[in-house]
Amino acid sequence: MSQPPEDPKDLSPGDLSDHSLGDLSPTSHVPPCPPAPARQRLHRLERLVLALSAALTREQVADVVIAEGLAALGARAGSVALLTDDGRELVTLRCHGYPPDLVTAYARYPLGTSLPNADAARTARPLFVQTRAERDALYPHLAQPGPRGALAALPLVADGRVIGGLALSLSDDRRFSRADRAFMQTIGRAGAQALERGRLFDAAQRELAERRHAEAALRESEARQEAVVAAALDCLITIDADGRVLEWNPAAERTFGYPRAAAVGRLLSELILPPPLREAYARGIARYLATGKGPFLGRRVEVPARRADGTELAVELTAVPVHLGGRVLFTASLRDITEQRQREAERTALLEQVRAAAERQRVLLRDVLTSVTEGKLLLCTSPAQLPPPRAPVGGPIRLTREAGLSALRRRAVEASRAAGHPEGRRQDLMTAASEAGMNAVVHGGEGTAWVSAGADGVVQVRVEDRGAGIAVEDLPRAALARGFSTKATLGHGLKLMIDTADRLYLLTGPGGTAVVIEQGRTAPTPNWL
């Protein structure tokens, strides 16, 4: 952003005349500060050069620049701010003498902010404000905090590029002499070069630290990898493109019976593969080297293997190719699963025995329940054992806590009346259907019911739900004890259904329950007559 030529802020870096904002205002009566003797300025210049040469980091350079600027002008506060990489913002690198709240407020700010540092950096021109009135007019938002006298701000230019700004604040008014301005610009130029050198030093230090950190991480990773390989329960084996062993961990030693020294350098196929598999193994490696594809690479496969003593074992194998500097290696993880397969076979046999025993128990229980209920309760073990539906009477009825039970009762009674059932049998069918529907809602959350009828006068009510069902061990009490119920399972009212229906088919288990109730025109003859 450029200013009109007559604005005193537009003085160029080389303009060492006595013109300043104070020369053009009513406060131009401010007396100039007596110039420092030439020897004193030379001493300050030598001290500046020595201090900057000793400063390594940008923070150290900024401290030197601020300190020398404060001493040269008798200033009370100073700051150095640097441009961000995108050139849009300034970040305060170092400051001295400003109130903490002001430092916090301007720790980072846009380049267009109305601040001395920002103005100098944006215009690439030095700024000298000689009186408090002029300062308050230019920067009214800075009227209260910090020193309120004259101020100087210089762009920090390195290699023709603005990298930031230096600002110094005085407590009193001051007319900046040609010597003041010349020395401040010297501080700015020397400081900018030193800051650029500090940036390179900081970058080199970061790179060195990152390299050291990476090297330490690599050493740690290698040590950890070696420890993992050594402590791994699985066999970890690495081979080259010829199939010769490069790495053989302790688990491989224990599993296959070869010490590491005896395994490294030998063909893996000769060490652990049965003879019938060696040719296929060699073809697989050759195929990958030729095409980059392998049928078993990256997959978990089960293969037979052989120990040093000739005994065979089953191993689970996962192999992956590794490309290192133009070389192709293969790393494999193998696990002895012989005992696992034996345990699985034993477990399968045991489960089959348990299943067979449970089935025998269920068949026995079915026969017992059928007998003690005079053939009225038939315990089913599969959907195929349920009776087929008869001619439907209406569509399915959805059963919930809010609706459906009344509709089920009405339809059961209507179907019973249409089939010619007497009043008492209609009431019995309604009671059994109501109990079945209530069980579905209470223990399954919801259910579905169907009503159907046959030409022989038999009415069928079928109710299904997805509840927890009833455990086998609870079936005798559920069927024989009136009002029996187990929490979250079928059971409540089962005895009542048996008492009021001609036949009751029951299929129940963890996946849900199906109840089929059948009622004829007349009660069936007991099977004991």
For residue 120, give the CATH number of its domain. 3.30.450.40
Whether residue 195 lies inside any domain: the answer is yes
Same domain for 196 and 77, yes or no, is: yes
Same domain for 237 and 183, yes or no, is: no
Count of beta carbons in the 10 Å neighbourhood of residue 249: 21
Contact 490, 513 (CB under 8 A): yes
User: Phi/psi of residue 156, each to 5°?
Assistant: -100, 110
Can you give the CATH number for the domain in which 270 is found? 3.30.450.20
Q: How is residue 312 written in tokens?
A: 């065979």
Same domain for 183 and 328, yes or no, is: no
The pLDDT-based confidence of 480 (bands split at 50, 70, 90) is: low
Same domain for 367 and 441, yes or no, is: yes
DSSP 143: S
Q: How is residue 99 written in tokens?
A: 């109130």
Gyration radius (Cα) of the chain, Å: 48
Same domain for 365 and 514, yes or no, is: yes
pLDDT digit string, tens, across residues 239-255? 999 999 999 999 999 99
As beta bridge partners, residue 151 has: 129, 169
pLDDT digit string, tens, across residues 406-429? 999 999 999 999 999 999 999 999
Give the pLDDT of residue 216. Answer: 80
DSSP 524: P
Please count the structural domains in the chain: 3
As beta bridge partners, residue 164 has: 82, 156
Give the pLDDT of residue 154. Answer: 95
Torsion of Cα atoms, 100 then 105 then 108 then 112, to 10°:
-130
Mean pLDDT, residues 133-148 taken together: 83
Considering the chain, what is the average pLDDT of its residues?
A: 84
428 to 424, 458, 462: CA distances (angstroms): 6, 13, 15
Same domain for 395 and 316, yes or no, is: no
The pLDDT-based confidence of 477 (bands split at 50, 70, 90) is: low
Give the pLDDT of residue 33. Answer: 52
Whether residue 220 lies inside any domain: the answer is no
Whether residue 510 lies inside any domain: the answer is yes
Whether residue 525 lies inside any domain: the answer is no
pLDDT digit string, tens, across residues 425-469? 999 999 999 999 998 998 888 999 999 999 999 999 999 999 888
**Residue 13's domain spans which residues?**
8-203
- Specify burial of residue 285 (Cβ count, 10 A radius: 0-12, 13-18, 19+): buried
Give the pLDDT of residue 200. Answer: 86
Same domain for 508 and 359, yes or no, is: yes
Most confident of 152-161, 314-323, 478-487: 152-161
Mean pLDDT, residues 479-494 taken together: 52
As beta bridge partners, residue 238 has: 247, 331
Can you give the CATH number for the domain in which 501 is found? 3.30.565.10
For the entire predicted model, the pTM comes to 0.40
pLDDT digit string, tens, across residues 64-107? 999 999 998 999 999 999 999 999 999 999 999 999 998 999 99
User: Phi/psi of residue 322, each to 5°?
Assistant: -130, 125
Q: Is the pLDDT assigned to residue 130 strictly greater than 50? A: yes
Among residues 182, 203, 224, which one ends one of the domains?
203
Give the pLDDT of residue 510. Answer: 83
Rounded distance, CA 236 to CA 254, Å?
A: 12
Mean pLDDT, residues 343-351 taken together: 88
Q: Which amino acid is at 424?
A: G
Give the pLDDT of residue 421. Answer: 96
The 300-306 sheet, strands edge to edge? 245-248, 235-239, 327-336, 312-324, 300-306
Max Cα distance, the chain (Å): 140
Whether residue 512 lies inside any domain: the answer is yes
Whether residue 222 lies inside any domain: the answer is no
Same domain for 306 and 390, yes or no, is: no
* Residue 105 CA to its chain's centroid (Å): 36
Give the pLDDT of residue 460. Answer: 96
Q: Which has more pLDDT, 335 or 526?
A: 335
Phi-psi region of 9 (alpha: psi -120 to 50; beta: other; left: phi over 0): alpha
Q: Is the pLDDT assigned to residue 24 strictly greater than 60? A: no
Lowest mean pLDDT among 292-296, 298-302, 345-349: 292-296
Lowest mean pLDDT among 25-39, 227-241, 325-339: 25-39
Whether residue 110 lies inside any domain: the answer is yes
pLDDT digit string, tens, across residues 375-418? 888 888 889 999 999 999 999 999 998 889 999 999 999 999 99
Same domain for 160 and 45, yes or no, is: yes
Same domain for 12 and 149, yes or no, is: yes
Whether residue 209 lies inside any domain: the answer is no
Q: Is the pLDDT assigned to residue 30 strictly greater than 60? A: no
Among residues 269, 303, 336, which one ends one of the domains?
336
Q: Is the pLDDT assigned to residue 18 strictly greater than 60? A: no
Angle at which helix 405-418 crosses helix 423-444, to 10 degrees, equals 150
Give the pLDDT of residue 482. Answer: 52
Q: How is residue 82 written in tokens?
A: 């640097």
pLDDT digit string, tens, across residues 171-222? 999 999 998 899 899 999 999 998 988 888 888 888 888 888 888 887 777 6
Q: Which amino acid is at 526?
A: P
Same domain for 364 and 315, yes or no, is: no
Same domain for 310 and 374, yes or no, is: no
